[in-house]
Amino acid sequence: MSKEITMYSADWCSDCRRSKRVLDSLDVKYTLIDVESDLTAAAKVVEITGGPQSIPVIMFSDGTHLVEPSDIELKAKLQSLSII
């Protein structure tokens, strides 16, 4: 199974920086999409969340996503997918 992860984020977002730190510290590869520079990405976030433009939105290969996850939630999801 693909273990691809995509994170929608912005440089100014402290939750995004925190989630990036978690992924980086665990050596997890991910694709970063900046919602500030890519307006279609901002629209995609609204589509995924069903309204609010809350970030980070982290998409997983199993079709699920997390919105503004805590470090514990993010690590638990990575473990459930056998990524870490």
- Return the C-alpha torsion angle 27, 30, 36, 38, nearest 10: 160
The total of structural domains in the chain comes to 1
Q: pTM to 2 decimals?
A: 0.93
76: CATH: 3.40.30.10
Tell me the average confidence (pLDDT) per consecutive run of 10 residues in the chain, 84 residues long: 85 97 97 94 93 93 96 98 95
> Are the CB atoms for 24 and 75 separated by under 8 Å?
no
Cβ neighbors of 4 (< 8 A, separation 6 or more) are 31, 60, 61
Q: What is the pLDDT of residue 46?
A: 94
Taking the C-alpha atoms of residue 43 and residue 50, their distance in angstroms, rounded to an integer, is 10
Q: What is the pLDDT of residue 53?
A: 84
Q: What is the pLDDT of residue 2?
A: 57
Tokens 């665990």, residue located = 26
**Enclosing domain of residue 29:** 5-80
